[in-house]
Amino acid sequence: MLEGIFVDGLIFSIMVIGVLISYRILDFADLTCDGSFATGAAVATMAIVNGTGLATALLLASGAGAIAGVITATIHNRLKVPGLLAGILTMTMLYSINIRILGGRANVPLLRIETLYTRFPEIFSMMSNPWALLVGTLIIVLIVKELIDVFFRTDLGIAIGALGSNEQMIISMGIDPKLLKVIGMALSNGLIALSGGLLAQYQGFADANLGQGMVVQGLAAIMIGEFLFDSNKISLITLRVIFGAIIYKALMFLGRYYGYYINLTPSDLKLLTGILVIISLIVAQTRNAASSADARKKALRRNKERREALDKEAGHVEN
Amino acid sequence: MKRVGILLLLSLVLVASLSAAGVQEAKSEPLVGVSKFLAHPALDAVETGMQDYLKSVGKNVRFDFQNANADVSASAQIAQKFKSDRVDMVVGIATPTAQALVNVFSDIPVIFSAITDPLGAGLVTTYTTPNSDNVTGVSDMNPVEAQIELLVRLTGAKTIGNIYASGEANGVTLMEQAKAAAEKLGVAFVPAAVANTSEVMQATQAIIGRVDAIYIATDNTVISALPSVDDVASKAGVPLMTADPSNVDGLDFLVAWGFDYYKIGLATGEIVAQLLDGKKPGEIGTKFLTDPEDFELWFNLDVAKKLGISIPADLLETAAVVYQNGQKIVK
């Protein structure tokens, strides 16, 4: 239970932060994710199998993901194609590259070999096995979250954040939006690949088809997070993404667990993911509509008050 | 609205975590967790065969059937579910799900089924028994060499084409074996890789002009798209051999020779029964089906006639199923 929801959810949350950066912060519908997630798993696995050490393996994995992000952003920038298409192109190419990375094989096992997830119980030997895995993963996720929070408070990070909502403003400030997109996409896919590298170690293998359907799952987690609370503070946004990721995994786990009571078979889970996204969208939209109606009312009231105040002033002058 | 949402979700998670811990029903019959990678006729037949065997020997077990829907990242979650259910043993059907089970469980028996290359998949470290492993299972390694030999003998082909899924572990392994077998026989080998079922037709068209016969091994992707291979091959008048007879109904194949996956299921059920009787997984090791009884040879004589190929009488005698004049004759 602990592992199925929380460890899995925490590993997944790093990927969701990556999707958040492209989809929400940069406003770039990026499908590179499905490929770069598997790239991260493939690079980390091959690095571990070849004995580079675990930290190096994860660094290489995120580096490979970052390169994938740079490629997508460059295709988008140079060839002036929509981000969606650029992402699909990179994702498609990555499928072949991932198999190359895995040495021409589709699946490379990490069983009976030292990985981060066999090290955690040794490092935190005072805890039981599931808790050690949970604490180890939590530490990694918190470090990643903190770094992302700090980054988005720097000048560069703020500029990237502004780019998604108003590209024109960035241009008028004399910053090159193309460069910002490249940096943002590298960061996003670096995180996604890092998550893939962790998952490969956690589940014990890398597979060429690992990334399939990741974007949708990531979006579902982001939207569940947004359903939880409203905020425009980066530290709270990343926090709610982590919550969203865990809740998403929990819902999937519960679907497997109790689904049969309501005749839900395991093959219905993809439908469940889609419905979750739709529900979250509906809730967000009603909430937005409500808050904008609220804002309009407030604005009208303020206008009225101001006019009354002016009238009064005018009255005074006349008198 | 907002608060309600948070409360609802959090309480849902909490309730689930608590009740999952308390969901342990009274343990009367052993609980077996079955993790299948995707719904597929051959893999489904394994499940059925396993259940039928256990029923036939009077073993009462409860099953928990899970399916990863071909979503690789779901296989770890299924393994975790079994762990929190404290199942007595687990069965992994197809490579990724079996790997996730081996990764999670070291205390209870893990049984893999329908794995072409258990050593390459890292499921076992050795085929020799006894060993100290908690992993045992059934391999569906095909007699690739014998299959290629048969195809060459029937058709006299000088060049053999093969469509395989480069994204599937067993697809790559079987392609390499077929290539080696063809080289051994002095026959040229033309492989064409696909990434998904929609590419199968084009891959077949790409090589059909260069080959005298087509061999299809047991990879899930290409077998699922077998009708497209069949369509291209029959239009071009190229004989088609497949290693999976369970999917050829209604197709213009020449010969199908391979496992009856139901029998792999029976063999899996036999291992489950042995483990229930107290045998150690390491004593069972990896089982390979080598008995000719476990394979089925199917011929389509209508296609043979059209292509001008005569099937030797000794082979016809051993055939399990023959199609003639549009009729399916089960021997």
Tokens of B313: 């009488």
| The predicted structure's pLDDT at residue B69 | 81
Sign of CA dihedral A165, A169, A170, A171: positive
Q: What distance in Å separates residue A22's CA from the closest CA in chain B?
A: 22
Name the E strands within chain A.
107-109, 205-207
How many secondary structure helices (H) and strands (E) does chain B include? Answer: 13, 14
| The predicted structure's pLDDT at residue A252 | 86
Q: ω into residue B130 within 30 of 0, thus cis?
A: yes
Q: How far lies A243's CA from each of A13, A220, A225, in Å?
A: 8, 12, 6
CB B301 within 8 A of CB B323: yes
CB A123 within 8 A of CB A236: no
Pick from B39, B104, B167: CB nearest A106: B167
| The predicted structure's pLDDT at residue A284 | 78
A266 to B69: CB separation less than 8 angstroms, yes or no: yes
Q: What percent of chain A has pLDDT over 70?
A: 98
Distant-in-sequence, close-in-space partners of A113: CB < 8 Å, separation ≥ 6: A48, A49
Tokens of B239: 């004989």
Q: Of A129, A203, A231, A285, which to mutate for an interface test with B (greatest number of B Cβ within 10 Å)?
A: A203
What is the pLDDT of chain A when averaged over all its residues?
Answer: 90
Confidence of residue A198 (pLDDT cuts 50, 70, 90): very high
| The predicted structure's pLDDT at residue B23 | 47
Q: Which CATH class is domain A2-264?
A: mainly alpha
B39 to A205: CB separation less than 8 angstroms, yes or no: no
Q: How far lies A232's CA from each of A24, A235, A240, in Å?
A: 11, 9, 11
Distant-in-sequence, close-in-space partners of B174: CB < 8 Å, separation ≥ 6: B116, B142, B144, B164, B217, B218, B219, B243
Element (H, E) at B299: strand B295-300
* pLDDT of A315 over the 80 cut: no
- Could you give the CA distance from residue A211 to residue A315 in angstroms, rounded to a whole number? 70
* pLDDT of A3 over the 80 cut: no
Residue A182, amino acid: V
Spell out the long-range contacts of A273-280 with Cβ–Cβ below 8 A and sequence spacing 24 or more: A273/A216, A273/A217, A273/A220, A274/A216, A276/A220, A276/A223, A276/A224, A276/A248, A276/A251, A277/A216, A277/A219, A277/A220, A277/A223, A280/A220, A280/A223, A280/A224, A280/A226, A280/A227
- Could you give the CA distance from residue A122 to residue A135 in angstroms, rounded to a whole number? 12
Q: Of the segments A80-94, A112-126, A276-290, B73-87, which one has the largest average pLDDT value? A: A80-94
User: How many residues can be counted in chain A?
Assistant: 319
CB B80 within 8 A of CB A133: no
* pLDDT of A234 over the 50 cut: yes
Superfamily name and number for B28-141+262-292: Response regulator (3.40.50.2300)
Chain A contacts of B5, Cβ < 8 Å?
Answer: 227-228, 283
Tokens of A76: 């988008």
Chain B contacts of A209, Cβ < 8 Å?
Answer: 70, 72, 167
- Do domains B28-141+262-292 and B144-259+293-330 share one topology? The answer is yes
Q: What is the pLDDT of residues B149-160, one digit of tens each?
A: 999 999 999 999
Q: Which residue has the tokens 């770094």?
A: A147
CB A225 within 8 A of CB A284: no
Pick from A112, A214, A257: CB nearest B81: A257
| The predicted structure's pLDDT at residue B5 | 57
Q: Give one DSSP letter per residue of B136-160, joined into a string.
A: EEEE----HHHHHHHHHHHH--SEE
Q: What is the pLDDT of residues A106-155, one digit of tens each?
A: 888 888 889 999 899 899 988 888 889 999 999 999 999 999 999 999 99
- Nearest C-alpha neighbor of A209 from the set B124, B229, B38: B38
Integer Rg of chain A from CA: 23
Distant-in-sequence, close-in-space partners of B217: CB < 8 Å, separation ≥ 6: B142, B144, B162, B164, B170, B171, B174, B175, B178, B243
| The predicted structure's pLDDT at residue B315 | 87
* pLDDT of A222 over the 70 cut: yes
- Could you give the CA distance from residue B209 to residue B223 in angstroms, rounded to a whole number? 21
Give me the helices (H) in A50-115, please. 54-79, 83-101
Query: With a cut of 50, which residues of chain B have pLDDT below it?
Result: 1, 18, 20-25
Chain A contacts of B197, Cβ < 8 Å?
Answer: none
Residue of chain A with shortest Cα separation from B169:
A106
Name the E strands within A166-273.
205-207
Chain A contacts of B165, Cβ < 8 Å?
Answer: 106
What's the topology of domain B144-259+293-330?
Answer: Rossmann fold (3.40.50)
Q: What is the pLDDT of residues B202-219, one digit of tens each?
A: 899 989 999 999 999 988
Q: How far lies A8's CA from each of A147, A208, B72, in Å?
A: 21, 19, 13
| The predicted structure's pLDDT at residue B31 | 94
| The predicted structure's pLDDT at residue B24 | 46
Kindly give the interhelix angle for A129-151 and A8-20, rounded to the nearest 10 degrees.
10
* pLDDT of A265 over the 80 cut: no
Sign of CA dihedral A201, A203, A206, A211: negative
- Nearest C-alpha neighbor of B37 from the set A267, A1, A9: A267
| The predicted structure's pLDDT at residue B273 | 95
Is B34 in the A-facing interface, judged by CB distances under 8 Å?
no
B76 to A105: CB separation less than 8 angstroms, yes or no: no
Q: Of B72, B107, B117, B119, which to mutate for an interface test with A (greatest number of A Cβ within 10 Å)?
A: B72
B16 to A249: CB separation less than 8 angstroms, yes or no: no
The residue extents of the domains of chain B are: 28-141+262-292, 144-259+293-330
Sign of CA dihedral B12, B13, B16, B18: negative
- Could you report how far apart the first and last alpha carbons of chain B are, in Å? 68
Q: What percent of chain A has pLDDT over 90?
A: 58
B2 to A287: CB separation less than 8 angstroms, yes or no: yes
Distant-in-sequence, close-in-space partners of B91: CB < 8 Å, separation ≥ 6: B32, B33, B34, B35, B50, B111, B112, B113, B268, B272
User: β-pairing, B240-242 with B213-216?
Assistant: parallel
3-state secondary structure of B17: helix
Q: What is the pLDDT of residues B151-191, one digit of tens each?
A: 999 999 999 999 999 888 888 899 999 999 999 999 999 99
3-state secondary structure of B131: coil
Tokens of A109: 């096992």
ipTM given for this complex: 0.71
Residue of chain A with shortest Cα separation from B164:
A106
Q: How many CA atoms lie within 13 A of A207 on its CB side?
A: 29
Distant-in-sequence, close-in-space partners of A261: CB < 8 Å, separation ≥ 6: none
The residue extents of the domains of chain A are: 2-264, 268-319
- Could you give the CA distance from residue A196 to residue A5 in angstroms, rounded to a whole number? 17
Distant-in-sequence, close-in-space partners of B205: CB < 8 Å, separation ≥ 6: B232
Strand-pair partners of B192: B163
